[in-house]
A and B are shown apart, each in its own frame.
Chain A
Amino acid sequence: MMISGGGGRSSWSSSTSSWVPTTSVSASGKRIQREMVELNNDPPPDSSAGPKGDNLYHWIATIIGTPGTPYQGGIFFLDIKFPSDYPFKPPQVVFKTRIYHCNVDPDGLVSMGILKDDWSPALTITKVLLAVRSILTNPDPYNAVVPGIAHLYLGDRAKHDDIAAEWTVRFAK
């Protein structure tokens, strides 16, 4: 519930229209810009992303916890770093918000096939966001980085969901 209306409005001294750096002429930069336009025109549901400050290679993404999952009600912030040889190498995706999930390591790093060996230059940031969002709905316990959570997920789903929901309430509100 919003009480202050547009309370979040801010007017930092820098101009908000200068977010595209004028110097990015590299191929990766162009590609990232194109993906940004694409993301803008057709954003994936309940998630969004954008460059942090004026650095095109460093983004922040937000995923709203999907209703019906233990992550419901949470707002998850992620740090996305693009390598300089993007799209030939995958971006690095790290949760800035604590999350209880078998595919997210204790430091927040997201571990998914498509962010490692299964990466393809045909994938885009939009697809990465969709993929991250989908593992929040359907974790992949067989490729887990936190085996303890994966075991609990497979062995006692209700307990797993309770703990994950408790994490969401405590750390992701």
Chain B
Amino acid sequence: MYRSSNIVARIFERQICTPAPSTSVHHARRFYENLVPSYTVYEVECPDHSFRKFTDDGQYLISFSRNHQELIVYRPRWLSFSCKDEDCDKHDLPSRAKRFDSFFTQLYCVPLASCNELICKDFFLYMESNQFGLFATSTAQIHDAPAAGGAVHGVPSIEKITFHLLRLEDGEILDKKVFCNDFVNLTHNMGVFLYDDLLAIVSLRYQTIHILQIRDSGNLVDVRAIGEFCREDDELFLNSNAQGLALSDKNKQHQLPGNQIENHVHQGQPNLGISFLPGIKQRLLSFIFRGLWNEERDDSLRSQRLRKRFYFHFQDYVDLIIWKVQFLDRHHLLIKFGSVDGGPQVSRNADHHPAFVAVYNMDTTEIVSFYQNSADELYLLFEQFCDHFHATSKNSMYMNFISSHSNNIHALEQLRSIRDKASNSSQFVKKMLASLPFSCQSQSPSPYFDQSLFRFDDKLISATDRHRQSTDHPIKFILRRYPYSLKFKIKPGPEAGNMDGRAKKISSFLFHPILPLALSVQQTLFLQPSVVNIHFRR
């Protein structure tokens, strides 16, 4: 059936036709084919901040001061200006309208960092239901930190990491959570995952997954810590037992374990625990053991199999460390285990070190499944059910429209063509699975990245929030449907191109989740102020 892509025709069609069931949102999104950020204001006069992102509901633009001390929050507005002539579309925008503050109103500026701490500008999580923002500040990293007190050797240390929970409406700091002499990977939110009101923070140094809850009141409440122990009261249980035993040993009488030591629980690890397997490792090893044990019925064959496949590698399994975690739902975590030599940037040298992912149920404290990062079975799950790995919070419906190879035929085709081109299939599987667990809130929900609407070069731009090396060529967004035409271009940097063509330029793109509005920020490596362009629909 012939469908006009003319916006008037579309509005008319919307009036008279009912779209097929469950496709109304898809239909409505097609209007974005007509409403595109095709007009660019180059080199906008704007405050010299580092712009982080638009919140996923489009309410706020988050930015940090250049000295990484202050948080500045803007409210995106649509520019307004008046024009005396009749046909004002023909005119260029008046210079006042071209300014940054005609698009954005500053709401407030709050100092977050104190004395020797700096804001981690790569870290920001947004809790949409309450309009809370989570920010992090930290002191400098110490690379050759001694591995004291049960810390993993080879992991850097940060003297103080503070998470700040803010109400974005007015910038009020609601709560803080401090980690001392610890290491949380804050780059691109890697070490922290927010799901609904649950927050998982991975302490790499102490191999603990801290589960916190963000209450509506704005408090960060510890729910449990997974690592040495699995249940929230395991340590208390152990201590109360140990004390009960010690007393009965001393008094030679039947002292029942009591709960009186509750206040002393966190005053240090019980030193008797050092030689035992940490709780999460016990679960992992018993899961692997059970699997191998049940696989083979014959005693002798089973014994051999266990010897070769389990006991031989026992220490390797024990030495695995938790690298990254994401929620799959409110109960299940996807945990990546790898060797400590893998380095914080595991994905880069994924090939050299074995890595594993496990699904862990926090409530039953069971490992549900465990795969090596080269497992074809896991890859197939990843290919077919990618969206299940993108755990998004309940109320962010628009997150369902972020294109992935599981919900978008074009993305799937692209993935398959990469797979077919790959010479080594196991390398390919490892490379693809290196993105698991996913980083939290790392993708822009902007409809212009919807691959069923537009086609673009994902090496230059994509929904994933990353800095990219930029060229002087504008990035083209081409319609996926008839008439397959070039709809708009995004060009970072000065209009005329850079004076020095050889200088390396890094660009980042901030797309508003709803409006046809985007910022492109281009930076040359030599500490020059960045060039900010505003792209919008005029």
Contact = CB atoms under 8 A, between A and B. Distances in A.
A50 B276 CA distance: 19
B315 A98 contact: no
A163 B308 contact: no
B494 to A, nearest CB: 50
Interface in A134-173: 146-149, 151-152, 155-156, 159, 163, 166-167, 170-173
Given A53-B312, A172-B282, A75 B300 contact: no
Interface in B267-282: 272-273, 275-277, 279, 282
Given A51-B307, A171-B234, A152 B254 contact: yes
A171 B286 contact: no
Nearest to B365: A173
A173 B284 CA distance: 9
Most chain B C-beta atoms within 10 Å of own C-beta, residue among A5, A106, A108, A146? A106
Interface string B277-306: 101001101111111111100011011101
The 6 closest A-B pairs by CB, nearest first: A50-B311, A50-B307, A4-B369, A8-B288, A75-B286, A148-B245
Contacts, number: 164
Interface string A56-92: 0001101010000000000101000000000000000
Contacts of B303: 39-40, 43, 48, 50
Interface in A114-150: 146-149
Interface of B: 230-231, 234, 237-238, 241-242, 244-249, 252, 254-257, 272-273, 275-277, 279, 282-283, 285-295, 299-300, 302-304, 306-316, 354, 356, 365-366, 368-372, 374-375, 377
B88 to A, nearest CB: 64
A96 B275 contact: yes
Contact of B368 (A3, A5, A100): A3
13 contacts: A4-B291, A7-B369, A8-B287, A36-B307, A42-B300, A48-B306, A48-B307, A50-B310, A52-B312, A156-B254, A167-B241, A172-B282, A173-B365
A41 B276 CA distance: 30
Interface of A: 2-13, 16-17, 19, 36, 39-43, 48-54, 59-60, 62, 64, 75, 77, 94-98, 100, 106-108, 146-149, 151-152, 155-156, 159, 163, 166-167, 170-173
B252 A59 contact: no
A13 B283 CA distance: 24
A40 B304 contact: yes
Contact of A149 (B234, B245, B306, B308): B245
A9 B295 CA distance: 11
A57 B154 CA distance: 28
A7 B366 contact: no
